[in-house]
């Protein structure tokens, strides 16, 4: 048996620590003892909409307790980070070896735990735009966990970077992350002053999508990876179609893994953190016993950047 966070609709934050069965790894899975995990708004939303006793969580950092039976992946005792479909908010996780990357000693478990969903999403979204050297890139919700990583990575890729935020209190943070300009506009209209864009990375949707999609360059790509506005969007057909080769890409990170395994992307990100090129964004750290209150904070948008839970190592 082990302790894990499970869905409990009667508990604060709709999650609670419980004793559950220890996972039994498949032949291509390693058993990882979790040292730290991070929370994303998507996971919190998932936990609040699931039935009782469902395991929750995607991001993990820890140590391999048992290597995969098929000989793939890291050996026992290796420090790793990884991403699983669910169950990361637990003492032990059975993780596919193609979803794990080694974590060097100069990167903490807490730092590593922030990378698997947020930074990996940012990396793979930006790569949909091809070579970004000298190209204009717009990142909506640039102050969010994914947005701040996307700003840093876009600058490392050589882009001319525009960040969009809702309030002026976020401007300095987004500029420090690498933005050349920041527009303060809930509906995105002001971003037209700096377009057209080769890549637009949009987590907001709704009116931001409606207003920004026609800011694409002729060969531009609009990557939709979220809809935090919870609003429908519209597309004006002729203004968009006149961009000839412009495209819209619906991004779900798990759909990327068959072509781009998490292990490879995470290894690149960890190396950038180790070299000091990529800064992690930790706003809140707590022990596992307080996971219910942290879930509430994330759900109610009281956490900017990443919330990290230190587990049981």
Sign of CA dihedral 178, 179, 185, 188: negative
In a shared domain, residues 166 and 220: yes
User: Mind listing the pLDDT tens digit for each residue in 132-170?
Assistant: 999 999 999 999 999 999 999 999 999 999 999 999 999
Give me the number of domains the chain comprises: 2
- Where residue 176 falls among pLDDT bands split at 50, 70, 90? very high
CATH code of 158's domain? 3.40.50.720
Are the CB atoms for 251 and 225 separated by under 8 Å? yes
Is residue 313 scored above 70 in pLDDT? Answer: no
Which residues on neighbouring strands pair with residue 30, listed in sequence order?
95
Mean pLDDT of the chain: 93
In a shared domain, residues 160 and 230: yes
Range of lowest pLDDT (65-69, 175-179, 238-242): 238-242
Model pTM score: 0.94
Determine the 3-state secondary structure of 274 from DSSP.
helix
User: Mind listing the pLDDT tens digit for each residue in 215-231?
Assistant: 999 999 999 999 888 88
Is residue 204 scored above 70 in pLDDT? Answer: yes
Q: Which residues have a Cβ under 8 Å from the Cβ of 203 and sit 6 or more positions away?
A: 140, 141, 144, 146, 147, 225, 226, 227, 228
Mean pLDDT of 261-267: 97
Cα dist from 93 to 75, 194, 287, 288, whole Å: 15, 45, 18, 15
**pLDDT of 255:** 93
Q: Which residues have a Cβ under 8 Å from the Cβ of 59 and sit 6 or more positions away?
A: 37, 38, 40, 81, 82, 83, 88, 113, 114, 115, 116, 117
Q: Which residues have a Cβ under 8 Å from the Cβ of 294 and sit 6 or more positions away?
A: 13, 39, 284, 286, 303, 307, 309
In a shared domain, residues 108 and 177: no
Mean pLDDT of 232-239: 85
**pLDDT of 14:** 83
Q: Could you tell me if residue 55 is inside a domain?
A: yes
Beta 136-139 vs 79-83: how paired, if at all? unpaired
User: Mind listing the pLDDT tens digit for each residue in 282-305?
Assistant: 989 999 998 888 988 888 778 877
Is residue 181 scored above 90 in pLDDT? Answer: yes
**pLDDT of 189:** 95
Peptide bond into 196 cis (omega under 30): yes
CATH code of 35's domain? 3.90.180.10
Are the CB atoms for 198 and 211 separated by under 8 Å? no
SS (H, E, C) 81-106: EEECCCCCCECEEEEEHHHEEECCCC
Is residue 200 scored above 90 in pLDDT? Answer: yes
Residue-range definition of the domain harbouring residue 134: 129-250
In a shared domain, residues 181 and 79: no
Sign of CA dihedral 164, 170, 172, 173: negative
Mean pLDDT of 32-46: 87
Element holding 242 (H helix, E strand): none
């Amino acid at each position: 048996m082990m302790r894990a966070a499970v869905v409990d609709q009667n508990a604060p934050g709709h999650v609670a620590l419980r004793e559950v069965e220890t996972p039994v790894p498949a032949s291509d899975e390693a058993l990882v003892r979790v040292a730290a995990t991070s929370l994303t708004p998507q996971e919190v939303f998932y936990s609040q909409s699931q039935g009782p006793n469902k395991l929750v969580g995607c991001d993990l950092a820890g140590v391999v307790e048992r290597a995969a039976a098929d000989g793939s992946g890291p050996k026992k005792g290796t420090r790793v980070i990884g991403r699983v479909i669910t169950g990361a908010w637990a003492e032990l996780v059975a993780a596919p070896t193609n979803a794990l990357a080694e974590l060097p000693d100069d990167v903490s478990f807490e730092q590593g735990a922030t990378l698997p969903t947020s930074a990996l999403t940012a990396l793979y979204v930006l790569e949909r735009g091809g070579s970004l050297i000298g190209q204009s890139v717009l990142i909506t919700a640039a102050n969010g966990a994914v947005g701040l990583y996307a700003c840093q990575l876009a600058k490392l890729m050589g882009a001319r970077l525009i960040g969009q935020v809702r309030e002026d209190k976020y401007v300095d943070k987004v500029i420090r992350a690498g933005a050349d300009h920041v527009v303060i506009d809930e509906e995105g209209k002001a971003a037209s002053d700096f377009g057209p864009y080769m890549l637009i990375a949009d987590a907001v949707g709704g009116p931001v999508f409606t207003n920004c999609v026609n800011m694409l360059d002729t060969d531009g790509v609009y990557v939709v990876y979220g809809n935090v506005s919870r609003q429908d969007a519209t597309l004006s057909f002729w203004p968009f179609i006149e961009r000839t080769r412009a495209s819209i890409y619906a991004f779900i990170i798990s759909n990327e893994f068959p072509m781009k395994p998490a292990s490879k992307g995470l290894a690149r990100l960890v190396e950038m953190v180790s070299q000091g090129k990529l800064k992690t964004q930790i706003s809140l750290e707590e022990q596992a016993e307080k996971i219910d209150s942290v879930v509430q904070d994330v759900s109610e948008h009281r956490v900017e950047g990443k919330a990290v839970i230190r587990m049981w190592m």
